[in-house]
Structure formats: structure tokens, C-alpha cells
Amino acid sequence: MSLAAAPNLADPCEEACCRHAPTDLFGIVCSVGCGIHCAAMPLLIAAAPAVGGSWLGGEAAHLVLLPLCAGAAFWSMRSGVRRHGRRSVPWIAAAGVSLLAAGVAVPSLLNDGSAGEAAGGGAGACSAACCQSTAIASPEDGPAAAVVRFAVPFLTPLGGGLLVLAHLVNLFAAPARRRPVHIPEPQTTMPALARSGAVLVLACCGTTAHAADGSWSDFRGGGASVADAADLPLNWSPEDGVAWSVELPGVGQSSPVVFGDRAYVTFVEGPNKEAVGVAALSVATGETLWTQRFDAARTSPNDFMHGRAAPTPAADGAGVVAFFASGDLIALTPDGTKRWRRNLWEEFGPFENNHDLGTSPAQDAERLLLQLDHGGPSLLLAVSKADGQTAWTAEREPRTSFTSPVVAEIAGTAQVVCSSNGSVDGYDAATGAKLWSLDGLTGNTIPSPVVVGNRVYVGAKPGRGNTDVAAAQESNCCVEVSRTPAGDWTAELLWRANRTLSHYSSPLVHRGRCYYLNNVGVLACFDAETGDLLHRGRLGFESWATPIGAGDRVYCFGRGGECAVLAAADDFELLAENRLWSPEASGETAAEAPPQPPADGAGADDESDGRPGAGGYDGPFVYGAAPVAGGFLLRTETRLYRVGAATPTP
């Protein structure tokens, strides 16, 4: 079929959008859209007999092709570098857009529209290759114009092809490995004495930032998951060793925190989480000391697809500060009196996350640190614990993540370390200045980092549907942070955890060993110094909580109330297996079923579960644990348990 046989296909050149000069923004967008239209012209011609040539060449074609073109260019440029580390992708996309625009605009600039109008094409911008009316050289043309006219018919198909190429690279190229990045020491006006004071505060708190009396005052005990509490039990069962169990208000997925003789938990209530709240309980008896409820600043469905009070609060001698996905940040005294409240959704939102925010605040002696990563403008926020005022903010690239920051001292400087969806970054805890960064990671969206000395241990998980498994395995790694004599910070990848994945739980570094526990209960132990694999084994249950190291033991908590106690040793040595409730009492039977071997018979080295329905949401979950003197506090959605001695051992 010839072009002359379908004259109506040139009708889009009569449309109003093409009458805009390609030098203004709307004209550029229209030109790009027309270019895509021209690149697709052979398909439109072939389809004309079936659906009608005038419709294909009319407004509907523009309505379809203009958004496709704009979306193609935007997506390629936005995701090409961040996801794959390939800086060629946006250049390819930009070249494609440029060629498309040139294929529409150049003839118009040469002829000022006259040729196109003479040919019945309409506006000057439409005297391009799509009309096939001005692309043939005229005898009156000079050599340069003749060459340009000859080349114009090829510009739009070539531009469309380049955009397709950019998409193919984005879709099918393997993630690129990136070299470590070092960032020069930022200039700051902060007095040296103040910086030294901040370092001294963190040095006194240590990398775990929890009190030396055994308090577990924030998420993962300050980010280390290592317990100072004494006389932790080895064995317990529903009949023996559970000191008390109490019903909690509402529902919640946060871990309990402990300061002094009080435990704090957070919760939400209502079908759309209309209320948020905090409750304080006696560690010794489980008695509820007080409960405070507040109207949520924003509501969202109260179901398993959205966080239910997922962020863990932070406590100290002044009380407790709780953060909720609604944007509510609330500080209370030890007796439950409100000290201050902020609406971060109103200040920094909306937060673009399909499952709501799940990040937990970290803290030092003066500040609360919140990593607000989501699909929109993201930031690291430092808030004064005394009055709730903003101490500083640091902008971050948009990214969806549920990880939490860690406050630690690295090479003599108090830092906030964030591992989140593609990179691990370090910030000055006093000023918010970015000190160093290592990118090229995949899957570090749920496990939070661990800092020991000048090393950062990173956890990563595969994508939904077990995508990006190989890249996620390479992102479970150890990073060494150092400072050069010139004062620059560097971050260097030291080792990768071979064939290992994290999931909901974060890494644990304890007694020179690094432990990774995935959601189906495969525990892998590595030498924390060298990265050599020491042992790997199945625990026989699914796990969401991070293991806790205590003395010569490692406690691994299953989501169905199980706990496996292992020796902190180079060999896999199971010391005890415990249960918090019986499957008959809770209706949870999957946790007791033994795991089936994987189809390929790979055994413990294989990360798959093999059981149908794994990863479902039936029955109560253990979301987190907090060690106390003589035992643990374990939290499900609606209950808080204490295992071990009800009072500290003398």
C-alpha cells in the first residue's frame, strides 16, 4: 500500500498541536510526539484498512503517541543511571528525542512552512518526513539544504529506534557494578569544640546507643542487636518459662523498647488507622501503666498490605518518641504526658510508598534521626529531642525503602549511616553533611545496616517474585569506611556474602562473626573480618525478627513463636529449640511443619523454602524482641510476652 493510497494519514499535520513552533515547551513536546508518530507510520499505514485511515491519522493517534513518547524519554533518563549504573541510557534517550524533534522541526525552519502548506500539509512543523512533501531536494536548493532534505526522512525512524534501544537496555541489561565513591570532606562552620563534643557523646553511648544498664531503647538496641542483659534463658515453653502475657491495645508491628523499668509499644486503631497510640507497661509484671491515643494526621487501610505501627519508638530518660506512617511524630514523658508533636506528612509529604513508611528513628543524646525515603523528594531529618525542632535536613534521592538509619562513630566522627535501595551513605551526625557513599547495590530495601568499628555490614533481599536474586546476593556485603590523610572519606567494598540473602531481618555481627537470616529460616554465618563462610543451616521456621547476640549465644526468633538458640561459634551448633505458644492454641500450624527439601536437592545451601504457601499472613507473628534482665519481651500484633524470670536475677 502506498502513501498516496491513504491520504488521510497526513491529517495529523492539520492538528492544532503541530502549529506550535518547536522552540517553545509545548511545541517541543508536540514535535517529539509527531516524531514518534512518523516513526510508527508504516504500522499505521498497514493497519489503516482494518480500523480506518482517518482515525489513525487524526487526533486519537496523537493522544496515544504523545504520552508514549514523553513517558519513554522520562523513564529512560530517570531510571537508566540509578537502576543500572549505565550513563549511556539517558544519552541514548536524549539523542532519540533530539532526532525526533529535528525530523519535525528542520524542514519547517528551512521552508518557513511554505512547502508544507503548498503540499497540503498544514503548519510548517508538519512539513517533515511524516508528510513526505518536503523531504525531496529541490533543484533550487543549495548543497547543504539538499543534504538536509535528503536526511530528514531518516531522522524520525532513527530517533524512535534510539528510544526503543534505551528501553531495551533498561529492561534487559544486568545491573552494572560501580566503583566505590569517595566524597571530599565538606566545609562547615561548625566549631571544632562542638564537633568534638558530639563525638564524645557517641563514644560514651557506643555504636549501640543504648544504656549500659541493659536498656533496649530503640530499634535493634541502637542498631547492633547485641544484648547487655544478664542471665538470658536457654529454654522456655508455653507451660514453663513464660512469665506473663498481656493483651495490647489496637494492632502493631513495631518492636518493644525498654528503658529502666518500663516497656513502650506503639499501636494503631480503626479500620483506616484513624488513631495512633503509645502504651507503657511494667517490665516486671506486664501491668499497663498508661495508654495515650491521638487522632492520626492521615489515614490508610488497616490491613497487611499497609504498615500497622511498623516504626519502633525511641526511649530515653526523658520519655519516649514515637513515629507513625501517618506522619505523626509524638514525644511523651515517662508518665505519658505529651511533650511535643509534629505532622511530618504535612511538612515533608506526601510520602509515596504503596505499603506506608516503615522506618524507625535512630537517636543520639540530643537528636532523633529519621530516614524518610520514598518515591518522592526524600530526606534525612534530625530532630531535637528536647523541643521537637528541626536540627538539620539532608536531601536524598527518591527511593522506596523500609530501612532504618544507624548512629555510630566511624574514624572518630559521629555519623548517621543509611543503607537504602541502591546505596549505603554516611552523614555527619552533627551537621547532616554527606561524608561518603557506595552505590551499585540491589535489594537493600528492608534490612538495616550494622556498624562495627569502621565497617558497615549491609543486608539485601530479592525483589518481589524473587527477581534480581543474583544482584541481591552480591549486595549482602561488608564495606570499609576510612579517611585519607588529606581528610577525604572513602567507602570500599571488602567482601560479599557468598550465595546469601537477607529479607526482613537485618545482619547481626557478634563475637567476630556476621550472621544473615532470611525469611524462610536459612542462617548463614561468615567471618566478620574476612567474609569466609563458616556455616549455613536451616532453622525450620520462617523469621521476620533480627537475631540477637548475647554472650556465647545467638537467639533466632521465628514468626510463629519459635526460637532457636545457637552457639556463637564457627560451627552450626543448636543449643535449644523453644516455643512461645502451641500451634493448637493459636491456629498456626505452618510453623511446626518441617520444611520440605527443594526440588533440586540442594539442601541447606539453597535459599528456597519448598513449602507451599510460604510467606503467607496466617496466624500471629512475632515482629520483634527486646532483651531484659533474665529474659525477653516478644511482641506480636496484639500481645506482649515476657519469657524467662519475671524479676531480675539477684
CA distance 569 to 566: 8
Angle between helices 88-111 and 143-172 (to 10 degrees): 150
Residue 460's pLDDT is 95
Mean residue pLDDT of the chain comes to 76
The DSSP 8-state label assigned to residue 226 in this structure reads B
Cα 577 versus chain centre, distance: 33
The per-residue pLDDT for 282 is: 97
Q: Which amino acid is located at 115 in the chain?
A: A
Q: pLDDT per residue over 278-330, tens digit each? A: 999 999 999 999 999 999 999 988 887 788 999 999 999 999 999 999 999 99
pLDDT tens across 381-432, in order? 999 999 999 999 999 999 999 999 999 999 999 999 999 999 999 999 999 9
Domains (range + CATH), the chain: 21-44+62-105+158-168 (no CATH), 226-584+618-644 (2.130.10.10)
Other CB atoms within 10 A of residue 528 CB: 23
Give the model confidence (pLDDT) of 477-523 as tens digits.
999 999 999 999 999 999 999 899 999 999 999 999 999 999 899 99
Percentage with pLDDT > 70 across the chain: 61
Picking from 131-145, 466-480, 568-582, which range would have the lowest pLDDT averaged per residue?
131-145
> Residue 4: how many CB atoms within 10 A of its CB?
7
Which residue has cell 549505565? 86
The rounded Cα 212 to chain-centroid distance in angstroms is 32
Phi, psi of 128 (to 5 degrees): -85, -170
Q: Strands, DSSP E only, in 224-326?
A: 242-247, 257-259, 262-269, 275-282, 288-295, 314-316, 319-323
Cβ-Cβ contacts under 8 Å for 496 (sequence gap 6 or more):
473, 474, 475, 476, 477, 531
Rounded to whole angstroms, the Cα distance separating 460 from 471 reads: 9
Residue 126 reports pLDDT greater than 50: no
What is the DSSP annotation of 309-365? Answer: S-S--EEETTEEEEE-TTSEEEEE-TTS-EEEEEEHHHHH-----TT---PPPEE-S
Cis peptide preceding 350, ω within 30 of 0: yes
- In this prediction, residues 137-141 reach a mean pLDDT of 51
Task: Specify which of 29-43, 82-96, 569-583 reaches the highest per-range mean pLDDT.
Answer: 569-583
Give dist(CA 290, CA 96) in Å, integer. Answer: 63
3-state secondary structure (DSSP) of residue 174? coil
CB of 377 within 8 A of CB of 395? Answer: yes
Cβ(116)–Cβ(93) under 8 Å? no
Lowest mean pLDDT among 53-57, 288-292, 575-579, 592-596: 592-596
59 CB neighbour count, 10 Å cutoff: 13
Q: Look at the pTM and tell me if it is higher than 0.75.
A: no
Quick: pLDDT tens for 3-43: 333 333 333 333 333 333 333 343 444 445 545 545 554 45
CB 481 within 8 A of CB 490: yes
> What's the pLDDT tens digit per position in 206-233?
344 444 456 899 999 999 999 987 799 9
Mean pLDDT across 96-123: 50
Question: Mean pLDDT, to the nearest integer, of 629-648?
Answer: 89
| Res 594: pLDDT | 32
Set of cell numbers at residue 228: 547487655
